[in-house]
Amino acid sequence: MDCDVVIVGCGVAGLYAALNLPATSRVVMLSKGELDECDSMLAQGGICVLPEGDDYDSFFEDTMRAGHFENRRESVDIMIRSSRSVINDLVALGVEFNREADGSLAFTREGAHARPRIAFYRDVTGKAITSKLLERVQQLPNVEILDHTAMIDLLVEEGECRGVVACPVTEEQSVQTIDELMPEDATAPAAGDPAAGDPAAGTRPAPAFEIHAGATLLATGGIGGVYQHSTNFPQLTGDAVYLATKYGLETEHLDYVQIHPTGLYSQRPGRTFLISESCRGEGAVLLNQAGERFVDELQPRDVVAAAIREQMRADGSEHEWLSFAPVDPAVVREHFVNIRQRCLEEGRDILDESIPVVPTQHYFMGGVRVDRDSATAMPHLYAAGETSCNGVHGRNRLASNSLLEALVFARRAAYNIATGRSLEVEAAGEPALDGAHRATGIDASIDRLCAAPASSAPNASDPASPVRGESSSK
């Protein structure tokens, strides 16, 4: 199979990159499991945005402080100044957000934020964004999506990435690591050979095939699938990091794993349900077994998670409690519909009683090291989203920066793939939050979907060739 760009992963990073690539380029996207089995779908709290230029310093400081000042300052700056363009794109594509009475975006606040600056849609923001991006990508004639298809290797020629090796997988196989999916030896049976076994039986994957591409974007998500207890989908097994290590590419901060303070404690097996930090931003409080508050709930996540673990040890308990008593019941009914429903399934109504919560693995700050354009050290290989490390988050991620960071740097990857240049960064507070898409001058698919004139781009130029580099089809 030949294409201009292959994107491994169908979360917000992969989808938004596809939308921002030239409409004339052929794009192939891989999803290891079902299309909705990506962590972007699970984000509850919201997506950060710079509400006005005067908030820049505070937003920057909050991000740096949460990351223990181990963040890359350039990356934090790019993320914040690009946030308004990203939100405008989402609105232009049809993503819904909660609004104030005057029609402006409503903002909520979460832990370690000095002020409300988080756009949201109820308590299912990630699903609202990802579903709409997927819907729009599925409208593109130049994009082919292969679900239940796992990447098991890179195609590397003379030190340059030329695509990926992939194989079809069943739902059962989709949770396996690359090691588990790789053929046992080089003499593995070919397609159609009875010795290969039945792929539908969940024992061994179907025979592998090559996807040759001019550029490759890894957007495979985090590492929660290798943990016993995680808020992540089990398909997230660190595949991009594994292959980066195999080919000697630099990885960064592999030990920086975020433990979310409030996973819903349950004796049911499977993925832990997240109780969004926005609950505490709206006033919910943490209580010990004696019903007493024991921590400032709006501190950074690592601080709150550590306090809960310490209190659990002191109480000799397997969880502590989160109370919604201080939260306006109308806010609970309107903002936390999904969370309330999930808790009702566990036999608890958050309007009437506290719920048991426990720290659980949630997010991976480390990953494949990339530059300001999401490029790795290997030519034609890019990484974006949770699988990459561009330095935005430092040692600990600020709440609701994950969706924004993934989108900002996916857009930058797409632009660099198309032009070989770095996308110009907007001034703080620009453009207006008016829900209008601004084109970047490369005739991207999103331009056509939003019918945006190329002359509105801050650095528009004559359209470049579909992508830099040559796929084997050219």
Name the more confident of 126 and 462: 126
**Residue 324: DSSP 8-state:** -
- pLDDT given at position 28: 98
What's the rounded Cα separation, in Å, for the pair 281 and 296? 11
Name the nearest CA neighbour of 458 among 420, 422, 408.
422
Sheet holding 355-364, edge to edge: 257-264, 355-364, 320-323, 285-287
Write out pLDDT tens, residues 27-81: 999 999 999 999 999 988 899 999 999 999 999 999 999 999 999 999 999 999 9
What pLDDT score was predicted for residue 270? 83
Tell me what pLDDT residue 290 has. 98
User: Strand 209-218 and strand 355-364: pairing?
Assistant: unpaired
Percent of the chain clearing pLDDT 70 (strictly above)? 91
Output the pLDDT for position 36. 92
Marked catalytic residue, from 72, 122, 271, 301 = 301
Q: How big is the chain, counted in residues?
A: 474
Place of tokens 């679900």: 147
Average confidence (pLDDT) over 437-461? 74
Tell whether the model's pLDDT for residue 451 goes beyond 90. no
Q: What one-character-per-residue DSSP string does 270-282 give?
A: SSPPB--HHHHHT
SS3 10: coil
Determine contact, residues 117/49, Cβ cutoff 8 Å. yes
Residue type, 275: I
Q: What six digits make up the tokens of 94?
A: 């049809």
**pLDDT above 90 coverage of the chain, percent:** 86
Could you tell me the pLDDT band of residue 195, with boundaries at 50, 70 and 90? Answer: very low
Strand spans (E) along 309-455: 320-323, 355-364, 367-369, 381-383, 388-389
pLDDT attached to residue 267: 84
Split at pLDDT 50, 70, 90, the class of 269 is confident
Q: For the segment 74-120, what is each residue's pLDDT rounded down to a tens digit?
A: 999 999 999 999 999 999 999 999 999 999 999 999 999 999 999 99
> What is the DSSP-derived secondary structure letter of residue 39?
G
Query: 287 by DSSP, 3-state: which?
Result: strand
pLDDT number for residue 206: 79
In DSSP notation, 10-40 reads -SHHHHHHHHHSBTTS-EEEE-SS-TT-SGG
Residue 24's closest CA among 463, 473, 469?
A: 463
Q: Mean pLDDT, to the nearest integer, of 185-206?
A: 48
> If you average pLDDT over residues 423-451, what whole number do you get?
96
Segment among 10-14, 141-145, 192-196 with least mean pLDDT: 192-196
pLDDT at site 131: 97
Asked if 22 and 441 touch (Cβ cutoff 8 Å), the reply is: no
Fill in the DSSP letter of residue 426. P
CA distance 106 to 100: 5
Which pair of structure tokens corresponds to residue 118?
């988080």
Q: What is the pLDDT of residue 228?
A: 79
The band of 203, judged by pLDDT with boundaries at 50, 70 and 90, is low
- Go through 236-267 and write b for each residue having 16 or more CB atoms within 10 A of its CB, e for each that does not: bbbbbbbbbeeeebebbbeebbbbbbbbbbbe
Q: Is-cis flag, bond preceding 431, omega within 30?
A: yes
User: Of the candidates 31, 27, 326, which has an alpha carbon nearest to the alpha carbon of residue 174?
Assistant: 31
- Helix (H, G, I), strand (E, B), or coil: what is residue 331? helix
Mean pLDDT, residues 140-151 taken together: 98
Strand partners, 149: 168
- Of 439, 442, 438, the residue nearest 417 (C-alpha): 442
Residue 402, C-beta contacts closer than 8 angstroms, at least 6 positions apart: 43, 363, 386
pLDDT single digits (tens) 255-266: 999 999 999 999
Instruction: Round to whole Å and give the CA distance between 427 and 453.
Output: 20
Evaluate if residue 453 carries a pLDDT over 70.
no
Residue 448 known to be catalytic:
no
> Which H or E run includes 161?
strand 160-168
Residue 282: what pLDDT? 94
* Whole-number pLDDT of residue 395: 96
- CA dist 97 and 335 (Å) reads 11
Looking at the predicted structure, is the pLDDT value of residue 463 above 70? Answer: no
Is the pLDDT reported for residue 452 higher than 70? Answer: no
Mean pLDDT of 362-377: 97
Give me the pLDDT at residue 184, please. 61
Contact 438, 457 (CB under 8 A): yes
Question: Confidence class of residue 204 from pLDDT cuts 50, 70 and 90?
Answer: low
Answer whether residue 191 shows pLDDT above 60: no
